[in-house]
Structure 1
């Protein structure tokens, strides 16, 4: 850039980048909210309004976390199993159960979204299942399948199935007719239309349904492990609650919540990688 007299003029200084501050704020706000929650928790426990059995201070919960994560006084973790092992067993149940439910939900969603009579046939049943709380049919699953892994995995699959089926059906039905007709005009078969037009168009909403399904499966975890749930993080919470062991209950709840946040974050990253055009087109 030059002045009217032909003398070069140095460029104006750029304003400081806002990206660094945005990143710092993005990380500082959750950390600050965590510190605030811990401070309020400590004040509530120290106020004496409730006994430590009901509201233990953070230090006692930390001690319980250390106890269930290590071997102490000859006792290995909680009920002979470390916390990470309890969590791993529950995550395996969720992976199998929610995985089956998600796969069936995607399949039924594609079928109901493309075949009108199948939607009329199955949608009322899926809505009926979606409105049922897990405890409403878990006892029936125990009667049918016993008290081993089968009723737990089946419950998680039944909890994860409706959100994916509903979101996929809605997304498939909302695919623009012009795209489908254009593909058919170019000679695409029915399978080609589903593979190249319907699935990519429905994928963003389907992935949202997958995230919801995993969340519903997580919220059903304790219910799934009510019977013969040890080892398992939900079973640990239930067993500790039977003995008013509030610190261990809180450790289990925090472990479920933190692992759920991590899994949801991974699913969100997967969604951004698979459908990068979402929100931009």
Structure 2
């Protein structure tokens, strides 16, 4: 195969070393990684702060589910590239539109995962807690939330994957730094080794976070899969 289409592993490693020390488009590789990571994890944390409480509320309240479930289910299948123009029109070409685009791709899996996790709580435990005088907040904190944690953590792992998938689309417009920008820019100049190197960098970061989430899962919900 011609190196233009499938570069050798040695050339990919050499390109990584070259970009690490010499940078790409005037910025070092660590800076591209840092900016992209900040965009993805900023959107991810925002999605967790909003999506988890909303998902729990949707799971516990038919009214909340009736209000928020239809719009989430409507926009969830729409690919991020479809509403990228709206993000640019409404929020400009700055960081806000990029973070919000990633946020929308992460938010739906987390909210729906939290909603589904509420169903894991045994109704007998909830009734028993109420019979002993527990308040609604105590039932939420001691029964529903621990029962929903496995589903929530799984949804977080899925959501961060969607976030990295959307990163390239988010960095298509007016971005001058970032891993997604680097991959797109290199593809326009047929720098295949840089494209593949960027893909491996994104995969390595995503895999490291997935391992962290699995570690937290073992620590926070050690009973998962044992009951």
TM, length-normalised to structure 1: 0.79
Structure 2 counterpart of 1:193: 139
Structure 2 counterpart of 1:70: 21
Structure 1 counterpart of 2:4: 53
Structure 1 or 2, whichever has the larger Rg, is: 1
Matches within 5 A, 1:155-234: 155-234=101-180
Structure 2 counterpart of 1:144: 90
Q: Quote the offset at 1:230 in angstroms.
A: 2.1
Moved over 3 A (4+): none
Q: Unaligned regions of 5+ residues in structure 2, if any?
A: none
**Residue 76 (structure 2) pairs with residue 123 (structure 1):** no
1:176-235 per-residue CA deviation (whole Å, 9 max, x = no partner) reads 111110000000011111111111111111111111111110111101111122210001
Distance 2:173 2:32 in 1: 15
Match of 2:93, SS state, is: coil
Structure 1 counterpart of 2:207: 261
Contact kept in structure 2, 1:110 and 1:172, CA below 8 Å: yes
Distance 2:8 2:218 in 1: 39
Structure 2 counterpart of 1:135: 81
Contact kept in structure 2, 1:101 and 1:159, CA below 8 Å: no
Match of 1:187, SS state, is: coil
Structure 1 counterpart of 2:41: 95
Greater relative contact order (Cα < 8 A, sep 6+):
2
Contact kept in structure 2, 1:64 and 1:248, CA below 8 Å: yes
**Residue 32 (structure 2) pairs with residue 81 (structure 1):** no
Distance 1:192 1:269 in 2: 27
Match of 2:84, SS state, is: helix
Q: Unaligned regions of 5+ residues in structure 1, if any?
A: 1-47, 72-76
Distance 1:178 1:278 in 2: 19
Match of 1:252, SS state, is: helix
Q: Quote the offset at 1:168 in angstroms.
A: 0.9
Q: Quote the offset at 1:174 in angstroms.
A: 3.5
Distance 1:173 1:118 in 2: 15
Distance 1:136 1:107 in 2: 27
Q: Quote the offset at 1:156 in angstroms.
A: 1.1
Q: Quote the offset at 1:89 in angstroms.
A: 0.8
Contact kept in structure 2, 1:215 and 1:260, CA below 8 Å: yes
Match of 1:220, SS state, is: helix
1:10-39 per-residue CA deviation (whole Å, 9 max, x = no partner) reads xxxxxxxxxxxxxxxxxxxxxxxxxxxxxx
Q: Quote the offset at 1:90 in angstroms.
A: 0.5
Number of paired residues? Answer: 227
TM, length-normalised to structure 2: 0.97
Higher helix share: 2
**Residue 188 (structure 2) pairs with residue 242 (structure 1):** yes
Q: Quote the offset at 1:173 in angstroms.
A: 2.8
